[in-house]
Amino acid sequence: MKKLIPLLVLSVFLSGCGKIELNNTSIPLALGLDLQNNEIVIVAQIASLSSPEKAKEDTPQFKLLTARGRSVSEAARNTNLYASPIPLWSHTQIAVLGGNLCRQNVTYAVDFLARNRFVRKNDLIVVAHKASPEQILSVKPYLEPYTAIAIRNILINQDRQLGIYAPINAHEFLQKLSAPGVEPVVPMVSLHKDGTGEQVLLDGMAVFKKDRMIGQLNEMESRGYFLMRPEVYYGGLFPIHWDKGEEQWLTMEITRSSATVTPQIQQRQIKMKIQVIAEGNFYEQGGRGNLFTGDIFRQIEEACEQELARQLAMSIHKAQSLNSDIFGWGQTISRHEPEVWKTAGPEWEQLFPAIPYELDIRFYLRRSYETDKSFVYR
């Protein structure tokens, strides 16, 4: 009954004021926005009315609505020129922003996301990479009836299991676009082909500056950005190359990590000190030999610290080369040293690319699961 209450009280912006019969509505799970020939293109993934049990295995359980307009709202309302059910936009799970829109001017979408009361601010944001939003949302995903749900679950699961791409919702995206001293980065979704056809794939992160996308982070740079987030996070895997004795790859699991970024001001010169404290487990060994001895144990921790420092440095180098303060260093300075920020703030675009930094990475191994030794062959 509780689930029906929102449906009964909703009035959708497409219909103007008045009541709406539930039989005349549809459930959009994803909203795609792009820019083509100076027109907004909107794509909505609509949940199919047929039940998953009755649907064929190879048949998508959704339909796509597409329309164009001079604004997002006009394009959305134009879907009613050929589709009678009124979309209940408050049920969307993700928003897929097209590459053309992001590279030219994301302002077209920002006002709609911020102003429209039926767009949920906890919807996750992704950028379509090497494909249009319509192509992304046309894919029938693995083991999921809807592409929107699949992308959302992939983002959330890899956040906990791999620690590569930091999810961002509409509220955080809008906040970072409007706040000084910080810029947003958004996970990108592309298509890849396998034996079953095309599937969605997380593929880098889009770097924004002001009102447009100006570059992207690769997987390793995205890992570095993930590590530098201020909140405590849990989960993530990373390999390290081990060349002491038998050459092999070791897989480490981060169980807990936190980052602290502190500005250090000396004679009005700014330097950022970044401290990351992480705990983890020995997850997998790719060779033979007993690595858990008193002499080797600390060497593994040092190798982990060097690898995490390398990932952080790669991410910082890319952000400074693009001149986009994705880490929020400007906001950090304004909080810790407001008087310094009064002078540095207006010149931050010139200062940020050359800001020096110091890394202090500490990694502590806690356990090795079922065994301390590699498998022994007899």
Task: Tell me the pLDDT tens digit for each residue of 186-210.
Answer: 999 999 987 778 899 999 999 999 9
pLDDT range class, residue 56, cuts 50, 70, 90:
low
Average pLDDT over residues 7-32: 62
Q: Helices 107-115 and 170-178 sit at what angle, rounded to 10 degrees?
A: 120
- Residue 57: its pLDDT value, please? 57
Q: What is the pLDDT of residues 253-274, one digit of tens each?
A: 999 999 999 999 988 789 999 9
Average pLDDT over residues 326-342: 94
- Residue 50: its pLDDT value, please? 58
Q: What is the pLDDT of residues 93-123, one digit of tens each?
A: 999 999 999 999 998 888 888 888 888 899 9
Up-side HSE of residue 135: CA atoms within 13 Å toward CB? Answer: 18
Give just the sign of the alpha carbon dihedral 97, 100, 103, 105. negative
- Asked if residue 2 has pLDDT above 60, the reply is no
CATH fit for domain 228-378, picks 1.50.10.10, 3.30.300.210, 3.40.50.970, 3.40.50.2300: 3.30.300.210
Q: Where are the domains of the chain?
A: 1-217, 228-378
CB 215 within 8 A of CB 318: yes
9-13, 327-331, 367-371: least confidently modelled range: 9-13
Both tokens assigned to 67? 């329309």
- Residue 14: its pLDDT value, please? 41
Average pLDDT over residues 143-150: 90
- Asked if residue 352 has pLDDT above 90, the reply is yes
Please state, rounded to an integer, the average pLDDT across all residues of the chain. 86
- Residue 233: its pLDDT value, please? 80
Q: Kindly report the number of other CB atoms within 10 A of residue 124's CB atom.
A: 24
50-64, 75-89, 335-349: least confidently modelled range: 50-64
pLDDT range class, residue 5, cuts 50, 70, 90:
very low
- Residue 89: its pLDDT value, please? 79
